[in-house]
Amino acid sequence: MAKIGAIFWDIGGVLLSNAWDREQRQCTLKQFGLDEVEFESRHEMLVSSLERGKISLQEYLERTIFYRPRAFTPDAFKEFMFSLSKPIPETLQLAKDLSRSCRYLMSTINNESKELNLFRIQTFGLREIFSLFVSSCFVGLRKPEDAIYRLSLEITQRPPEESCFIDDRPLNLDTAVRLGMHAIQMKNAQQLRHDLQQLGVAA
């Protein structure tokens, strides 16, 4: 088996809670007393543009929430959105340990809007762990599209057989495997550490 030299990480569901997934959306809609069906129909039409960086978070909110008067402000809504981001401490520590070992190129491959992505990178110290962020909002591509994985490998100049991708969603892992990368589905930190060790990856 080829020696792993690069580890690509999803962020939401692996290192941190999800940024703006169904759970976070439902919590926010409940907090502000908004109709879920009405919101979701608008969200589904705009989420791809948001995560590809084609529209800003402000534009997205204007079209999904503030297309009519509300009893709360956009700033209050965004503040609550951002507050839902929480760390997964055990996995973050594992990523830090691997980064500090200087044995592996550490990069992300993740789908997030620009504003949430930058907030999460800054708030949770992700620049201390990763040398590269292949985020959908920066590259205009989203998982599980082949192109975002190919771009990650091309930018880092790493062959797929020497690369490992970690994600919590099987569909995203399927693409990585099809391209020849090793893939690990994140369930918990202990399992992740064990599966990495099986690939010869350790701090």
- 76 and 28 belong to one structural domain: yes
32 burial type by CB count under 10 A (0-12 exposed, 13-18 middle, 19+ buried):
middle
Number of domains in the chain: 2
Which two structure tokens, joined as six digits, stand for 172?
Answer: 């995203």
Residue 186 lies in a domain: yes
Q: Above 80 in pLDDT, residue 1?
A: no
Residue 96 lies in a domain: yes
- 153 and 79 belong to one structural domain: no
134 phi-psi bin (left φ>0, alpha ψ -120 to 50, beta other): beta
| Mean pLDDT across the chain | 97
User: What pLDDT shows up at residue 128?
Assistant: 97
128 burial type by CB count under 10 A (0-12 exposed, 13-18 middle, 19+ buried):
exposed
CATH number of 162's domain:
3.40.50.1000
Q: What is the percent of the chain with per-residue pLDDT over 70, rounded to a whole number?
A: 100
- 119 and 45 belong to one structural domain: no
User: pTM of the full predicted structure?
Assistant: 0.96
Render pLDDT for 29-72 as a digit per residue (tens, 0 to 9). 999 999 999 999 999 999 999 999 999 999 999 999 999 999 99
63-71 contact pairs (CB < 8 A, 24+): 64/39, 65/34, 65/39, 67/42, 70/32
Residue 42 lies in a domain: yes
> Cβ contacts of residue 93 below 8 Å, gap of 6+?
189
- Domain range enclosing 29: 22-83
Confidence of residue 203 (pLDDT cuts 50, 70, 90): confident
d(CA 104, CA 45): 38
Q: What is the percent of the chain with per-residue pLDDT over 90, rounded to a whole number?
A: 99
- 55 and 130 belong to one structural domain: no
Q: Where are the beta strands (DSSP E) in 61-158?
A: 105-110, 132-135
